[in-house]
Amino acid sequence: MAGQGHGGARRVAVGLLAGLLSLAGCASPEPPDPVPREIQTLLDRHAWALLARDEAAYAVALDPARASAALREFDHLAEVPLASWDYRLKDVDRAGGDRATVRADLTYRVEGYDSGPVTTERVLDLTERDGRWYVTADRPGEGAAQQLWQQGDVEAVRGARSLVLGVGQPEERLKAIAAAADRAVPAVSAAWSPPWAGRVVVLVPASLDAMGGLLGAPAASYRGIAAVTTGEIGGGPDAPADRVIVNPDAYGVLGDFGQQVVLTHETTHVATRTATSAATPVWLSEGFADWVAYRGTGRTAAQAAPELRRAVRAGDVPAVLPDDKAFAFGGDAEALARAYEGGWLACELIAERWGEAKLTAFYRAVGAHPGREGAVEKALTETLGTTPEEFTAAWRAFLRDRLS
């Protein structure tokens, strides 16, 4: 019994020693770096001041020697109705004792229009003076696009169902775009049965080059493109908000009808975003958007598909539906037009032969498939009761009938 007692004492002593060593090891850990927390607090206050439109509080976070550029951006945002503005710190690089470069995600929402935030990466340079950090520079992260307010004073025009934000554009032009967007929204709702937000935000930069800056892409790729829609395919209610971005050069040369078609087409992309996925081929997403845009206009196939009509009349009927690569910007403009026209006529064929409700059901069925492989084939069989071979043959016959 005594032997057991000594063994137990030894075990207790060893246990106490291990515990004390463990406590000693925990007592003096490396202290956490307070700088990230200090910088996040700075950015939180900076964001609050912007939302509150408190210029004095906003300026407190800025390096007085370099505050002018940031204060210009504060002024540029004056007409933008912001619902939220937040920075999420991702990384801090201590460039020196009193300097730091940080990467942060900026997320913001436009009041009344965005159910989900727009997210963009920012790189901020900071300097420390007398124990306080100040922002000295704020720029897009690597590969990130510019934001509209970085290009100049933003003018906001509110429509009944649209918000148009422009830089360097006459107010009358922005009002005309808002009116066209207001007409586009109900036209899309009449064709696309699932509910959607029923509102759209349109950005109108000052030039084609400025448009390229908003897209983070070479402007030349969009030279002949009147507008594009940005957004995240297949997103839910919290997905990044869509934006329709107008190319003022290409849009400006269109007549009233062409401008209306463009905005209705792009608004369709906004409405169908949650039903569009990686499984959706471009011929379907672009063709459906054109189908909605031309729906009810009385435009004939010969009028709306001039490039494809020329090819068909020359005996060059496409053998298959256009693949995704055929829709790439910056290439052969006539080939690109034929791809769009072919996608539109495929959707027109479905609407005429199977009905408009079947067309929207087909679109949703393709987008709901887990991947691209087999998505169209399955939807053709289960929704339209046909096969890919039969559908392709019907489409080619449709082209000959409507375009010869």
Q: What is the pLDDT of residues 34-62, one digit of tens each?
A: 789 999 999 999 999 999 999 999 999 99
Mean pLDDT of the chain: 90
Q: What is the pLDDT of residues 363-385, one digit of tens each?
A: 999 999 999 999 999 999 999 99
Return the number of other C-beta atoms located less than 10 Å from residue 68's C-beta. Answer: 9
Pairing of strands 99-110, 118-129: antiparallel
Strand (E) or helix (H) holding 319: none
Specify the pLDDT at position 252.
Answer: 95
Which residue type is seen at 265? H
Output the pTM of the full model: 0.88
pLDDT at 294 over 80: yes
Which residue type is seen at 148? L
Specify the pLDDT at position 70.
Answer: 87
Q: How many Å apart are CA 213 and CA 107, to the nearest integer?
A: 19
Q: Report the pLDDT averaged over residues 189-202.
A: 91
Q: Which fold has domain 145-275?
A: Zincin-like (3.30.2010)
Specify the pLDDT at position 237.
Answer: 56
Query: Where do the domains of the chain lie?
Result: 35-144, 145-275, 277-404
At residue 403, φ and ψ (nearest 5 deg) are -115, -10
Specify the pLDDT at position 96.
Answer: 72
Q: How many Å apart are CA 74 and CA 85, to the nearest integer?
A: 12
Contact assessment for residue 89 and residue 102, using Cβ atoms and an 8 Å cutoff: yes
Percentage of the chain beyond pLDDT 70 is: 90
Specify the pLDDT at position 18.
Answer: 40
Q: How many Å apart are CA 289 and CA 295, to the nearest integer?
A: 10
Specify the pLDDT at position 211.
Answer: 96
Rg of the chain (C-alpha set): 29
pLDDT at 28 over 70: no
Q: How many Å apart are CA 104 and CA 130, to the nearest integer?
A: 24
Contact assessment for residue 321 and residue 343, using Cβ atoms and an 8 Å cutoff: yes
Specify the pLDDT at position 10.
Answer: 39
Q: What is the pLDDT of residues 61-95, one digit of tens each?
A: 999 888 888 899 999 999 999 999 999 999 999 87
Distance of CA 101 to CAs 37, 85, 90, 105, 130, Å?
A: 14, 20, 11, 14, 18
Q: Report the pLDDT averaged over residues 134-139.
A: 92
Residue count (the chain): 404
Distance of CA 337 to CAs 217, 307, 328, 333, Å?
A: 21, 6, 11, 6
Q: How many Å apart are CA 282 and CA 343, to the nearest integer?
A: 8
Q: Which fold has domain 35-144?
A: Nuclear Transport Factor 2; Chain: A, (3.10.450)
pLDDT at 27 over 70: no
pLDDT at 1 over 50: no
Specify the pLDDT at position 235.
Answer: 59
Shared fold status for 35-144 and 145-275 = no
Which residue type is seen at 183? R
**Top-confidence residue, 86 or 115:** 86
Contact assessment for residue 118 and residue 128, using Cβ atoms and an 8 Å cutoff: no
CA 320: distance to chain centroid?
30
